[in-house]
Chains A and B, each alone.
Chain A
Amino acid sequence: MRILLKGGRVVSPQNKINTVADILIEDGEVKEIGKVNCGDCREYDLSGKYVFPGLIDMHVHFREPGREDAEDIASGSQAAAKGGFVAVAMMPNTSPPIDDPLRVRFVVEKARSAKVFVFPVGAFTKGRRGEELTEMALMAEEGAIAFSDDGLPVSNPLVLRRGLEYLLALDLPYLSHAEDLKLSQDGFVNETPFTAKLGLRGRPWVSEAVAISRDLLIAEFVGAKVHLQHISTKRGLELVAEAKERGVRVSCEVTPHHLLLDETYVSSFDPNFKMNPPLRSPEDREALVKGLREGLIDAIATDHAPHTYDDKEVEFDAAPFGVVGLETAVSLIWDKFVRRRVISPKRFAELLSVNPAKILGLRGFGKIEKGYPAHITVIDPKKEVVVDRDKFASKSRNTPFHGWKLRGAAVMTMVEGEVVSESF
């Protein structure tokens, strides 16, 4: 069947499209962009809406295998489709972790029937223990697109060096959860005068900054690429800026919750404000927004971390870290940053599609172009939504944004020419 997306504003920065145009889709591919008339097409009137290359969330946790009660690949990818994402990179901290070729194959096979593309990220070290490298080449053959011990850093700098060297031959990215665990002292919140009042053990900014500077220096020494996950601190970002200037091959992502929330929310002791990295100071948050605006930050990723209601309905220090993000990210970023002109729609496309595709080396993504697979996200800038955790497609509802009223939402998600979610 042929589909015609009519009259939307098409924003595809990679091939310099930013104009009102029709898009003709056939056999899962973009056939034409421009003024198109089509008699027997299924037609969508997209006037007043934005048409983006399909959005990619390069940081999600689906809990399969192990905690399918919190999220499995099917439910997670439904949440992704509903939230406007055509592809996600799934972190390997499942139980057991995705640390060998067979387990990568397991994810790939599960992902085959999923609504969106679910790309497995393989563990960097066996068991995520930070000691021995995984079979990264064989895992790549099975479909691993990147490597990370996310949730944990690689504490031993020599292991990191060896792994980054080994990856040079594969030309695949290393995704770094940059944290010095000793300095983090199993803390729960940022460490500042504000959180000192709460009596919760601190996880200070210096634990992130020390790890970032170490990772950057090792990457520079090896000549490797490194992508820094969920940057949360001003100092961390400054280190990235310096490294970029020196020509280190580094990219970084930031989460919607670190862009929109700060440590003051923790005074409610609500575990839906407990994540790692923790919510930082207002000053850190402002620095992240500045980095978003000025281009220093390459990607927005949700760090979608589902946990069951029961797991989160406990004392703050006993609750697991993390919040869900797939079904709130687009509306949050659109309302708070695009609508308020902090960033342009073009930059939105870069942060959520173009750059994630580039960093992860995903061919066929990040661009709306003739002959390309039709991965497309349509956003209605006027649609008003109220975040309602009870209506999530995700199995979990641990969001800090419940009840937020937002303007702007993904109204159609198309994967290879197939509409996988639609809510005009």
Chain B
Amino acid sequence: MRHLLSIEETPKEKIEEILSTAKGFLEISRRPIKKVPVLRGKTVVNLFFEPSTRTRSSFEIAAKRLSADVMNFSASVSSVRKGESLKDTVLNLEAMKTDLIVIRHPSPGAARFLTTFCRSAVINAGDGAHEHPTQALLDALTVLEHKGRLDGMKVVIVGDILHSRVARSDLFLFHKMGSSVVLSGPPTLLPPYFKALPAEVEYDLDRAVDGADVVIMLRLQMERMKGGFLPSLREYRARYQLTGERLSRMKPDGIVMHPGPINRGIELSHEVADSPRSVILDQVEKGVAVRMAVLSLLLGGEA
């Protein structure tokens, strides 16, 4: 594996390898001395064209725990497009002899675009509405910890599927691992043809979560009202908020996940957000381990 660009094109065996490597790194992060010399002397660049404290710091901590040197580069696309092109920006960074570039960019395919001209390994940390592979991997590791397996489950993804890279990566991952995926959300944010992805589409959230093992709630972007996708927040809340009542329709040991940051009282009622069934903080912990695994596998270090 030279790059990690998408879950769709990552084979199942590779996913399994990343997850088992990540399990090892979970241990390391729980030690008092949380640092191993796996990537000593390697340089990792976090190249972020969208504000994201969480993902960026997760990659940063992961790289530092592996003893890599980390450089953070943040910019907005509008400022970059006025001046230097993405290609020139990356070539300039690479001239400093980087080994790996983690890129978050609003354009689908941006990470792949980098691989057409750069020498460093590339990790896609979110490219527009396309994919966010490490998020899906950390979701998988979280499910694995809580459920002991990834196959034969009912995984429900709820919300703005149309604009969500998390939904796409999760969908491909859980499908690949042998679970069935149900998508739910208003049809404007979940056109019927998404059932070909492969997933089931269920517009009624009560029915969607019925007997679910895992429910992944997506963050609602507030600008969707302006785009004419939704009439109002309160109508969205009424139809698509995960409430205690809906939680009780899931399997008794079913878990609730969210890529964060959560809109309390919108996607999740506070009751659900604070319930022990919500494993959102676990996801954050798994995120570091998964990113350590991907970094070490890409840079050829030993686990």
Contacts and interface: CB of A to CB of B under 8 A. Distances in A.
Asked if A and B bind, the verdict is: yes
Interface of A: 191-193, 196-200, 268-269, 310, 313-318
Interface centre among A193, A314, A315 (most CB of B within 10 A): A315
Contacts of B211: none
A313 B85 contact: yes
B108 A199 contact: yes
B219 to A, nearest CB: 16
Contacts of A193: 193-197
B129 interface: yes
Interface stretch (B21-29, B109-117, B135-143, B242-250): B109-117
Contacts of B193: 192-193, 196
A269 B168 contact: no
A314 B168 contact: no
B86 interface: yes
A200 B106 CA distance: 11
Interface in B83-137: 85-87, 105, 107-110, 112-113, 127-131
Nearest to B112: A269
Contacts of B154: none
Contacts of B86: 314-315
Chain A CB within 10 Å, residue with most, of B85, B107, B131: B107
B107 A198 contact: no
Contacts of B85: 310, 313-314
Contact of B131 (A192, A196, A199, A268): A199
Given A316-B109, A316-B113, A317-B128, A199 B165 contact: yes
Contacts of B87: 313-314
Contacts of A316: 107-109, 113
B191 interface: yes
A199 B108 CA distance: 6
Contacts of B128: 199-200, 317
Nearest to A192: B193
Contacts of B197: 193, 196-197
Contacts of A310: 85
A191 B108 CA distance: 15
Interface in B52-87: 81, 85-87
A317 B194 contact: no
A317 B81 CA distance: 12
A198 B130 contact: yes
A316 B130 CA distance: 12
Contacts of A317: 107-108, 128
A313 B194 CA distance: 31
Given A314-B87, A315-B109, A318-B107, 18 more contacts: A191-B191, A193-B193, A193-B194, A193-B195, A196-B191, A196-B193, A196-B196, A198-B108, A199-B127, A199-B130, A199-B131, A200-B130, A268-B112, A315-B86, A315-B110, A315-B113, A316-B109, A318-B81
Contacts of B109: 198, 200, 269, 315-316
Nearest to A317: B107
Contacts of A191: 191
B8 interface: yes
Contacts of A314: 85-87, 113
16 contacts: A191-B191, A196-B196, A196-B197, A197-B8, A199-B129, A199-B131, A199-B165, A199-B168, A200-B109, A200-B129, A268-B112, A313-B85, A314-B86, A316-B107, A316-B109, A317-B108
B107 A315 contact: yes
A196 B194 contact: yes
Nearest to B194: A196
A193 B197 CA distance: 6
Nearest to A200: B108
Contacts of A199: 108, 127-131, 165, 168
A268 B165 CA distance: 17
B8 A269 contact: no
Contacts of A313: 85, 87
A315 B106 CA distance: 10
B108 A269 contact: yes
A191 B129 CA distance: 14
A170 B87 CA distance: 50
A192 B192 CA distance: 10
Nearest to A196: B194
**Most B CB within 10 A of own CB, among A193, A269, A310, A313:** A269
A191 B194 CA distance: 11
A169 to B, nearest CB: 42
Nearest to B117: A313
A34 B182 CA distance: 72
Interface string B226-250: 0000000000000000000000000
Nearest to B116: A270
List 7 tightest A-B contacts by C-beta distance, closest first: A269-B109, A199-B129, A193-B196, A199-B130, A315-B107, A199-B108, A316-B109
B7 to A, nearest CB: 11
B24 to A, nearest CB: 32
A47 B128 CA distance: 56
A266 to B, nearest CB: 9
Interface string B259-282: 000000000000000000000000
Contacts of B194: 193, 196
Nearest to B193: A193
A315 B130 CA distance: 13
Nearest to A201: B129
Contacts of A197: 8, 168, 197
Nearest to A193: B196
Contacts of B168: 197, 199
Nearest to B172: A197
A269 B108 CA distance: 8
A199 B167 CA distance: 10
B139 to A, nearest CB: 18
A189 to B, nearest CB: 9
Contacts of A318: 81, 107
Contacts of A192: 193
A420 to B, nearest CB: 37
Contacts of A198: 108-109, 130
Contacts of A268: 112
A269 B128 CA distance: 13
A265 to B, nearest CB: 13
Contact of B113 (A196, A200, A269): A269
A200 B105 CA distance: 13
A192 B193 CA distance: 7
Contacts of B196: 193, 196
Q: Which of B108, B110, B197 counts the most chain A CB atoms within 10 A?
A: B108
